[in-house]
Amino acid sequence: MAIVLGLMSKKGGAGKSTIVKLLSSSMTYTGHKCLVIDLDPNKDILTWWAVSKTNNLAEDNLIVRTVSPERDLFDLVDEFDDKVKFIIIDTKGEGVDFGVDLASVADALIIPCLNAKADSDRTKETINWHKDLKARAEDPSRIPPLHVVMSRVNPKLLTHVKGTPKPDGVGVREFERHYEIINQLDPLDIMIPEKPIYQEIEERGTLGMIIKEHREKTDASSKMKLRHFEAAMALAILLGNCIFEERKMSKANGS
Ligand SMILES: Nc1ncnc2c1ncn2[C@@H]1O[C@H](COP(=O)(O)OP(=O)(O)O)[C@@H](O)[C@H]1O
Ligand SMILES: [Mg+2]
């Protein structure tokens, strides 16, 4: 049986598709077959897959499908359940009406959250929706867990130690909200930093294939970039582990 992850958030631009690209890249790079179901009418993942193929930077074991009137989400999950190790479902950035469908097929739900008031408010609403869904379920253990991932985090805050002074170059409100999100939304222990490299992945192909391409180059600039891509891959692998181990920041910090 495939492990199914569903990305959701009421707000567009929070980083859902980026997380889908990272996770599907790391899963295929580490040798697993992975299906991405692109439920977003904008078809960001389908476009990324097509671009990857054009650039010869698509992993062979990555498959992307969209739904159609003849083949809905449930049909696709059924079809691929014993053919792939992972199924990742990307969704559009509005509403949680489809959330019940998503919750019924997924083993875990992931919601990226930006450091912005509107985002943390919407994320709280989704957390409440999830709590309510669990409370109403006949068997609450069948409702998949919902995990918040802090997305596009200022790199200066990635290694900041709680309780120590605010780093230079981070706004006061940004700093306070960063810890409000950690305290109120109990995110996963891995955060995604804001880095131009994530846009490059979007424009070029799967991360593992970009790494392989850069390993073959000998110029200094490619070597430098290779280190950044490898760091992004390490983070993507850690994020996957963090999801499966349900490692939350609160647990990691012993609070
Ligand atoms: N960690 C990041 N660092 C830099 N840019 C990012 C990051 N995450 C997302 N982006 C950019 O922000 C835009 C929106 O992200 P995306 O993942 O498509 O959001 P969503 O799918 O939730 O609408 C994209 O152009 C993407 O490249
Ligand atoms: Mg998207």
Overall average pLDDT of the 113-118 stretch: 96
Return the ligand number nearest the Cα of 151. Answer: 1
Q: Which residues lie closer than 8 Å to 107 by C-beta, 6 or more apart?
A: 3, 4, 5, 144
pLDDT at 150: 98
User: What is the Å distance from ligand 2's center to 18 Cα?
Assistant: 7
Res. 151: pLDDT tops 70:
yes
**Residue 10 pLDDT grade (very low, low, confident, very high; cuts 50, 70, 90):** confident
Residue partners of 3: CB distance under 8 A and separation at least 6: 85, 86, 87, 107, 244
Residue having the nearest C-alpha atom to atom 9 of ligand 1:
15
- From the CA of 185, how far away is ligand 2's center (Å)? 22
Distance 3 CA to ligand 2 centre (A): 21
**For position 253, what pLDDT does the model report?**
60
- Which residue did the predictor score with more confidence, 97 or 55? 55
Q: Could you give the CA distance from residue 120 to residue 126 in angstroms, rounded to a whole number?
A: 10
Kindly state the average pLDDT of the residues 126-148. Answer: 95
What residue type is assigned to position 250 of the chain?
S
Q: Check pocket membership of 40 for ligand 1, CB cut-off 6 A.
A: no
Query: What is the CATH T-level fold of the domain 3-252, as seen in this structure?
Result: Rossmann fold (3.40.50)
Pocket lining: 13 vs ligand 1, CB cutoff 6 Å: yes
Which pLDDT band, with edges at 50, 70 and 90, does 98 fall under?
A: confident
- Count of helix runs (H) and strand runs (E) in the chain: 11, 6
Question: Predicted confidence band at 96 (pLDDT cuts at 50, 70, 90)?
Answer: low
Atom number, ligand 1, closest to the C-alpha of residue 201: 27
Which run of H or E residues covers position 204?
helix 197-204
pTM confidence score: 0.96
Asked whether residue 228 carries a pLDDT value surpassing 90, the answer given is: yes
Ligand nearest to the CA of 14: 1
Shortest CA distance to 112 belongs to which of 145, 148, 154?
148
pLDDT band at 6 (very low <50, low <70, confident <90, very high): very high
Nearest-CA residue for ligand 1 atom 20 is 13
Whole-number Å distance between alpha carbons of 99 and 177: 27
User: What is the band of 12 on the pLDDT scale with cuts at 50, 70, 90?
Assistant: confident
Which pLDDT band holds residue 251 (cuts at 50, 70, 90)?
confident
CB 202 less than 6 A from any atom of ligand 1: yes
Give the closest ligand to the alpha carbon of residue 12: 1
Average the pLDDT over 117-129 and give the result: 94
- Of residues 13 and 93, which shows the higher confidence score? 13
Q: Are strands 86-90 and 3-7 parallel, antiparallel or unpaired?
A: parallel
Q: Which pLDDT does position 254 carry in this prediction?
A: 52
Reply yes or no on whether the pLDDT at 135 is more than 70: yes
pLDDT digits (tens, 9 = 90+) for 153-211: 999 999 999 999 999 999 999 999 999 999 999 999 999 999 999 999 999 999 999 99
Task: Evaluate whether 147 touches 111 at the Cβ level (below 8 Å).
Answer: yes
Burial status of residue 106 (CB atoms within 10 A of its CB: 0-12, 13-18, 19 or more): buried
Kindly state if the Cβ of 198 falls inside 6 Å of ligand 1: yes
Q: So what's the pLDDT on residue 250?
A: 85
The tokens describing 189, both together, are 């222990």
DSSP 222-248: HHHHHHHHHHHHHHHHHHHHHHHTT-B
Cα separation of 86 and 35, whole Å? 6
Q: What is the pLDDT of residue 163?
A: 93
Kindly state the percentage of the chain with pLDDT values over 90.
Answer: 92
Average pLDDT over the chain, rounded to an integer? 94
Question: For the chain, which residues make up each domain, given as ranges?
Answer: 3-252
pLDDT at 97 (0 to 100): 64
Judge if the beta carbon of residue 15 lies within 6 A of ligand 1. yes
